[in-house]
């Protein structure tokens, strides 16, 4: 059966790793036989703003999914070129990139599919995943889905200042910063660390420049009567 998402990374030498994600009720399916490593426990370098308690969550939701999906073997250097193929039931994406960039895209997807309170707002973006999206594409998708979420939740007046979305990205920025401590020194490759750093940079830029960047897109949404 075809997985819900599958990332296949191929090096110029022909080395290949395939990371398949299967969902059950919008949650990443992890078999009962899987034994998580110690670095996936909630209290291991727990994020400074984590609202979860060890009594109810033995494992960090994101760390648990990463531990299950990422191979323990060396993934290669961060700037190693890779051919990236991403499969979904609807379509297939192909692009040449670096290993850290490919893993950053994959990590973003995993975060959106994880039941972390700080990443739940990314679930719609994970559902309509766009691999290796650039900053402008991420901005448009984030703001659009945020406003759609407000509409679906029955808000009569949308948060046109996007203050709540900005706060969410501030929290996500802190999560990415803290999360690198979990992976540092745990793997032979530096690519997972640098992939998280790329997510950290993206979240930071979204937090600092959200309204400014959206304003730059205003000409695309001009009055139709002028066309």
Per residue of the chain (227 residues), give pLDDT as tens: 689 999 999 999 998 999 999 999 888 999 999 999 999 999 999 999 999 999 999 999 999 999 999 876 556 788 889 999 999 988 999 999 999 999 999 999 999 999 999 999 999 999 999 999 988 888 888 888 888 888 887 765 655 567 788 888 889 988 988 888 888 756 556 778 788 777 766 776 665 567 777 778 788 887 655 54
The answer as to whether 131 is a domain residue is yes
The answer as to whether 168 is a domain residue is yes
The answer as to whether 227 is a domain residue is no
The number of distinct structural domains making up the chain is 1
pLDDT computed for residue 159 by the predictor: 58
The answer as to whether 122 is a domain residue is yes
pLDDT computed for residue 86 by the predictor: 97
The answer as to whether 40 is a domain residue is yes
d(CA 121, CA 159): 15
The answer as to whether 91 is a domain residue is yes
pLDDT computed for residue 160 by the predictor: 59
The answer as to whether 35 is a domain residue is yes
Range of the domain at 46: 5-222
The answer as to whether 41 is a domain residue is yes
Distances (CA, A) of 17 to 37, 81, 122, 175: 21, 13, 26, 27
């Amino acid at each position: 059966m075809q997985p819900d998402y599958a990332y296949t990374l191929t090096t110029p030498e022909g080395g290949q790793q395939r990371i398949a994600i299967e969902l059950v009720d919008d949650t990443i399916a992890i078999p009962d036989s899987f034994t998580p490593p110690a670095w996936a426990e909630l209290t291991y370098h727990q994020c400074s703003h984590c609202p979860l308690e060890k009594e109810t969550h033995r494992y960090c939701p994101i760390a648990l999914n990463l531990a299950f999906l990422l191979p323990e073997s060396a993934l290669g250097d961060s700037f190693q070129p890779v051919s990236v193929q991403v499969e979904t039931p609807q379509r297939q994406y192909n692009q040449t990139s670096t290993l850290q960039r490919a893993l950053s895209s994959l990590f973003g997807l995993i975060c959106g599919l994880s039941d972390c309170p700080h990443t739940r707002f990314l679930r719609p973006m994970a559902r309509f995943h766009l691999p290796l999206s650039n900053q402008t594409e991420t901005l448009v998708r984030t703001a659009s889905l945020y406003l759609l979420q407000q509409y679906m939740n029955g808000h009569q007046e949308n948060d046109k200042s996007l203050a709540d979305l900005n706060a969410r990205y501030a929290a996500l920025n802190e999560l990415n910063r803290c999360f690198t401590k979990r992976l540092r020194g745990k793997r032979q490759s530096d690519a997972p660390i640098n992939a998280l750093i790329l997510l950290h940079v993206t979240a930071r830029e979204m937090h600092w420049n959200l309204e400014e960047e959206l304003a730059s897109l205003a000409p695309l949404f001009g009055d139709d009567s002028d066309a």
